[in-house]
Amino acid sequence: MVRRAVVSLAVQFFANGFVYATLVARLPAIRDRVGISVGLLGLVLTIGSLSALLSSFFTGPVIRRFGSRRVVVGGGLLYVAALPCIGFSTTPVMLIAALVGLMFFDVFIDTAMNLQGSVVSARRHHPVMSRLHGLWSLGTVLGALVAAQLAGFAVPVPIHYTAVAAALAGALLVVMPGLLPVDEPHPRQARRERRSGRWRVPRSAVALGLASALAVTVDVATGEWAAFRLSDDLGASAGVAAAAFAAYTVGMTAGRFGGDAAAARMGGAVLVRIGAAVAACGLATAALIPDRHAALVGFLLVGLGTSVFSPQLADAAARAPGPPGSGFTVLFVGHRTAALLVPALIGTAANTSTLNVGAAMALVGLPAVIGLMLVAGTTIRGRTA
C-alpha cells in the first residue's frame, strides 16, 4: 500500500507542477487573447492569489469532512479542469473566474497531498518528501519546455490547455486509487500521544507561518526577479537573462532529489539551516557582484539552498498536533501573504534612484533567509525518517 501511495502521490506532485508551468509559460498569449494590459494582468493574478489565501482557512475543515484522498482526487480534477477555462477566456471576467478556481483548489490539493506524503514518508525506511517536491519542480521544467515548443509551433492556447487537462485528468484517475484511503494520525503524532496521553501544543503556531513566509520571501525575491537582475542591472540579452531563472530552477530540482538522504542523516532543522546558509551566499553573490557569470552561479546556489525549505516545512505542518490539515492553515496563510507582499516590496525598492534590482533583492531576501535560520529549530524537529 505504501509503495502504491508513493507512485500516486508522485503523479499528483508532478501534475501540479506541470499545470503551474503550463499556465505561467503562456501568460503573454493569454493576455493578448483577452486583450488586457500587463498592469491589468497583474491585478487579475493578484485577485487569484487572494482567492488562494482565502481558501487556506477552509482546507482543514474540508479535509476533516471528506478526507485527504477525496480532496486530492476531486480537487485535482477541478484543478486541471480550470486550465481549459483559462485557455478559452476572452474577457477579463472569464479569466478572473477561471484563475480564482484554479488557485483556490490548488491550496486544497497542496494540503491534502502533503498530508499523505508526510504520512507515507514516515512509514518508509527512507523519507520521500523532498523527492516528491522534486517531482513538482521537474513537472515545472517539463511543463515549461512543452509550452515553449507548442508556442513555437503556434498551437492555440485553448487547444494546448485542453490537451494538457485531458492527459493529466486521465493519469490522475488511473493512479489515485493507490492513495491512502483513510486519514490516520501521523505516526510521529501517535507516538507523542502515547507518551504524553494528549496532543502536545507546539511552542507557537506562529513560528510555522513565519517560517513559511520567510521561505517564500527568499523564493520570490530570487526566482521571480532573477531575469530582471541580469537584464536591467547587467545589460544581458533576453536569452542570458532567462538562463538566470533556469539556473535557479536547476539548483532547486537537484537539491530536492537529494534532500531526503540529507534529512535522514542530519535532521530537518539542521538541513534547513545549512540550506539557508547556502542560499544566503548565493543571493549575496547573485545580487551584489556585478558579473553575469557570478550571478548565474549565485542563482544556482540559491535554488540549491532553498530546495529543502518547502519539503521540510510541509512535513512539519503535517506533523503538527491537532486534526488533519490544521498545520497547513497556518503554513499557507504565511505562504500566500508573503507571495502577495514581496513582489511589491522589491518592485518599489528597485524603482528608487538609489537601488537597483540586485540591491532590492538583497535588501528583502537576506534578512528573510537569516530569519529562517533562527526559527528553523522551533518549527522543524527531529528527522524525517
Q: Render pLDDT for 360-369 as a digit per residue (tens, 0 to 9).
A: 999 999 999 9
Domain shared by 242 and 148, yes or no: no
Given a cut of 60, whether residue 198 has pLDDT beyond it is: no
In a domain, 171, yes or no: yes
pLDDT at 203: 52
Indicate the residue among 175, 207, 225 that finishes a domain: 175
What DSSP string describes 201-265? Answer: PPS-HHHHHHHHHHHHHHHHHHHTTHHHIIIIIT---HHHHHHHHHHHHHHHHHHHHHHHHHHHH
Q: Decide if 181 is inside a domain.
A: no
Query: How many Å apart are CA 124 and CA 133, to the nearest integer?
Result: 17
Q: Are residues 248 and 167 in the same domain?
A: no
pTM of the model: 0.79
* Apex 152 CA angle, 146 and 154, nearest 5: 105
- Taking only the tens place, the pLDDT of each residue in 241-264 is 878 888 888 899 999 999 888 888
Q: Are residues 58 and 134 in the same domain?
A: yes
Please report whether residue 131 resides in a domain.
yes
The C-alpha cell that represents 211 in the structure block:
517560517
List the domain range (segments joined by +) for residue 298.
Answer: 190-379
Does the pLDDT of residue 95 top 90, yes or no? yes
Average pLDDT over residues 283-311: 94
- The answer on 305 and 165 residing in a single domain is no
In-domain check, residue 218: yes
> Does 20 lie in the same domain as 93?
yes
In this predicted structure, what is the pLDDT of residue 292? Answer: 93
Same domain, residue pair 312 and 352: yes
Is residue 47 located within the same domain as residue 154? yes
- Domain check: are 241 and 321 in the same one? yes
Residues 139 and 269 in one domain: no
Q: What is the CATH number of the domain that holds 42?
A: 1.20.1250.20
In a domain, 384, yes or no: no
Place of cell 501534475: 15
Domain end call among 125, 144, 175 = 175
- Written as one string, the DSSP assignment of 148-208 is HHHHHTT--HHHHHHHHHHHHHHHHHHHGGGS-SS----HHHHHHHHHHSSPPPPS-HHHH
Q: What pLDDT band is residue 224 in, cutting at 50, 70 and 90? A: confident
In a domain, 385, yes or no: no
209 Cβ neighbours under 8 A, 6+ residues apart: 330, 331, 333, 334
Residue % of the chain over a pLDDT of 70: 91
Note whether 352 and 291 are same-domain residues.
Answer: yes
Residue 237 reports pLDDT greater than 90: no
Quickly count helices (H) and strands (E) in the chain. 17, 0
CA distance 28 to 268: 39
Residue 227 lies in a domain: yes
Cell numbers describing residue 173: 484517475
Q: Which of 141, 175, 209 is the last residue of a domain?
A: 175
At 190 the pLDDT is: 45
Give me Rg for the CA atoms of the chain. Answer: 20
Establish if 182 belongs to a structural domain.
no
Residues 240, 115: one domain?
no
Same domain, 255 and 305: yes
Sole residue written with cell 534547513: 272
Task: Count structural domains, the chain.
Answer: 2
pLDDT over 60 (residue 187): no
